Amino acid sequence: MIEATGQLVDSIEADDFANTLSNTLRTIAPFDFTVVFGYLGSARPMDLFDDFPRGKRQIFVEDYQEGPYLLDPFYLACVNNVAPGLYRIKELAPDRFFQGEYFRNYYARTGLAEEIGFFIDLPGNATVVVSLMRAEKAFSAKEIRQLKEYWPIVRATCARHWKTLASSFDNSANPESDASLQNSVEIAFTSFGEGVLTPRERQVVEHTLKGHSADAVGRILEISPGTVRIHRRNIYSKLQINSQGELFSKFIDTLLAGDSRSRKH
């Protein structure tokens, strides 16, 4: 392990750093895939490294960057300034995430048994998330403990290697720019169903799609679960849909249409 760590330190600022990091972490606990995303505010995530085969890269990276990232617990954790460290996705996900439409319509397509991620804060409010993915079985408690013991090395080397990441984002990553605002979580949900849904109904849509149960949405919005269900029925009626799957599809279609318009300008 000492030798692997030395090689990792030597690779800082080199092109093979992320691959060396992945190989080093595999000596602690085996896993199938690695992806490293850079996040800055509401900007589209930047793929810094991945080792997916071509077919899986389409799902994990290209499809993800086209909109589903807005509902990703890892992305939302970055937006909400989660403390740096190693997390299982289930530790960050809402109470009904694995029954929600993001999981059913997007995440289930990845075929993963578990995903965990190291969250590293960088200058300029950027964050790097080093995700380790398993296709067959979840990480054991022992493996998580051993990976957490290696956290100081991961944090120090990643912070050094990607210290200028914030400057790599183009002007659209500026949280105050028009393009960024159109891609932000808040604006995406606020504009969904505009002219059809009430502001409260759009809030219910947002928390429902993120994977919160009616009880959880009620607690967040300080209304009863029964009122949440009434709002949902009204939302379905106004949008002329019959399921959360259709609601998810409409949201992604609206998001992609707005993103397409923003690129033209």
pLDDT confidence tier of residue 117, bands split at 50, 70 and 90: very high
> Could you read off the pLDDT of 171-198 as tens digits, one per residue?
444 444 434 434 455 666 777 777 888 8
What is the structure's pLDDT at 186?
60
DSSP the chain: -HHHHHHHHHTTTSTTHHHHHHHHHHTTS--SEEEEEEEETTSPPEEEEE---HHHHIIIIIIHHTTGGGG-HHHHHHHTTPPSEEEEHHHHS-TTGGGSHHHHHTGGGG--SEEEEEEEE-GGGEEEEEEEEESSSPPPHHHHHHHHHTHHHHHHHHHHHTTTHHHHS-GGGSTTSHHHHHHSHHHHHHHTTTTTS-HHHHHHHHHHHTT--HHHHHHHHTS-HHHHHHHHHHHHHHHT--SHHHHHHHHHHHHHHHHHHHHH-
Question: Picking from 43-57, 143-157, 251-265, which range would have the lowest pLDDT averaged per residue?
Answer: 251-265
pLDDT, tens digit, 9 for 90 and up, residues 203-261: 888 888 877 888 888 888 888 888 888 888 888 999 888 877 788 778 777 666 655 44
Percent residues over pLDDT 90 in the chain = 34
The mean pLDDT value for 134-152 works out to: 94
